[in-house]
Amino acid sequence: MQTLAIALGALVLYLVAYHTYGRFLARKIFKLDPAATVPSVALRDDVDYVPTKKGIIFGHHFTSIAGTGPIVGPALAVIWGWVPALLWVLFGSILIGAVHDFGSLVVSMRNRGQTVGDIAGRVLAPRTRILFLSILFMALTIVLAIFGLVIAAVFDLYPSAIFPCLVQIPLAVAIGILVHRQGKSILVPSVITLGVMYLTIVFGDGGPLHAFNHALGGEPGKLDGLPTIGWVAILLLYSYIASVLPVWTLLQPRDYINSLQLLSALGLIVVGLVVAGLAGGAPVGPDSGRPALEIVAPKLRAGADAPEGAPWIFPFLFITIACGAISGFHCLVSSGTSSKQLRCETDAQFVGYGSMLTEGFLAVLVILACVAGLGLGVKAGDSTLVGAAAYEAKYATWDSAKGLGAKVGAFVEGAANFLKALGLSPAFAIALMGVFVASFAATTLDTACRLQRYVVQELARAFGRDGVAPPALRPLANKHGATLFAVLLAGLIAAFPKPGAEWSWATAGSGGLNLWPLFGATNQLLGGLAFLVILFWMWRRQLPLWFVVIPAVFMLVLPGLAMGIELFKPGGWLAEGKWLLVSIGGATLVLEVWMLIEAALAWPKAKGILEDPLPPTAAAGRR
């Protein structure tokens, strides 16, 4: 019953937070105005700036920020025990993550949909624009280089997920055209598409679809299907196409379908959790009863009880769990795409604050799947482990838990056990969770590609005058040139093998793992810098700052501390001569310190002094 009480308690806590703290921020702090002119109306171009219903934007925004982040991070962090992970997710998402996402969305919306990088140059100091954009560029390059590998790994582990994920793309395009050109409702065709996807999961592991899936994915875990580099190339090509198309063509409908998929999957997990909590899980053998659902992980593993090889719980818990508590990547989605689609200011609370709380609830379910769901039964060779033995099989040491397959597998197997408690077949439960993970990794990939396009274009213009790129960089100011540059750079990085391996067609495609150790700290540092931009924007308008200052300090200090430890500890990057990580990690710390110095110099001069206004447009709206 403890597991069930935690899940229901978290749901109630999030609902209360949305209707109290979220409403307070919307009405009393940001003073959202339903009559204000928003960027999607003032600058409408039907490519990036498109007035859109809040339900559709919620689908795009939520699936873009979710991805695999709230799965991979919590699934690893429970190695330190379930209590620290749960507390960070619950209170981090309410007091820090949702405030970060909501604030980034509002500030961007009040600045014609500019990204936080551009806004930094106006509200802090002109030099900070290039500094901020440089950090954004590095973070997004890592995302693009790694997420193709994430999807390839999921397809290798769960080949039955391949066709359901692929069939979603043409169906989403058809829905986008139908909704945009004929003004039809998106709900009914999206529900039908979701039903088609579920049918392909039910029948996807037999007959021609089985042959198709396994020709591309091979046998689970054997890397005998399409090579990783092949998947990376296909996925980056898809990202290029999705990133230059108008948002209504593919991005919005596909993300809306995925949001329905996520909500339906969450619903099934919750119902399965309730059934397992009241009646037990599915029997693990023909003569066994239903195992009781209980938390089988320790509350805390730290100090002398810390798992072998694990870093210190402080500060590394706070960069291991990013999405689900707070993630700097979210400020890019808020300011890069969502702020350009809101058709009403008051929709920002639902999209910005509400999406983060929903992601936090997903992270809570991931934690419960890994610390309780696994205990209902995990295959280990010819036998099935239950209880604490199942947890130990996944989390005995840091090395046994930190692999991508281990983290994804812990969630998929634990969540599938909740579904099996409902009487669903093991094959369908596993395939459904595999589609769940792969679909959301894909939404992160193509959204990150579009965001990187914006960043590259802004960087090109930042080196010119009056917003015009110099001749040498002018191709990068074009959306096709910027997107092509982003895709080719990510593909080049990914083409290398993983650390320590020699290059071959079998190992190519894992090069993003060379930079992956940087992602956690860089991503969280980005969140701290976004808070800095929000803080200055509010300081100039003499708005209350108390709810931003503490999260800003927290997210500026902890990631920098974690990066410094990785750089300089005995056996760290510097000691082991990992010069790629040393150079990029060191440069990131230098950029952070530089931005903080610029902020300290600008702070006394900024109070009550509005930044220079943006150039006038035909319909400038409220700024």
Q: Would the pLDDT of 11 be above 90?
A: yes
Confidence (pLDDT) at 199: 86
Q: Kindly state the greatest CA–CA separation across the chain.
A: 76
**% of the chain at pLDDT higher than 90:** 38
CA 300 from chain centre, in angstroms, equals 26
DSSP 3-state percent helix, strand, coil across the chain (nearest 5)? 70, 0, 25
**% of the chain at pLDDT higher than 70:** 97
The H or E element containing residue 22 is: none
Confidence (pLDDT) at 220: 61
Average pLDDT score over residue span 39-58: 90
Q: 111 Cβ partners below 8 Å, 6+ apart? A: 118, 119, 122, 614, 623
CA dihedral 52, 57, 60, 64 (to 10 degrees): 130
Of 312, 320, 328, whose CA–CA distance to 552 is shortest? 328
Helix axis angle, 162-182 relative to 187-202, nearest 10°?
170
pLDDT in tens, 351-407: 999 999 999 999 999 999 999 999 998 887 778 888 899 899 889 888 877 666 677
CA-based Rg of the chain, rounded to a whole angstrom? 23
pLDDT in tens, 192-233: 888 888 888 887 666 787 788 878 876 665 556 788 888 889
Q: What are phi and psi of 468, to 5 degrees?
A: -110, 125
Q: How confident is the model at residue 619 (pLDDT cuts 50, 70, 90)?
A: very low
Q: Would the pLDDT of 267 be above 50?
A: yes
pTM: 0.90
Confidence (pLDDT) at 139: 84
Of 205, 224, 193, whose CA–CA distance to 430 is shortest? 205
Domain boundaries, given as residue ranges, for the chain: 2-445
Q: Would the pLDDT of 170 be above 70?
A: yes
8 Å CB contact between 4 and 293: yes
Tokens linked to 455: 């960043």
501 by Cβ neighbours in 10 Å (0-12 / 13-18 / 19+) ranks as middle
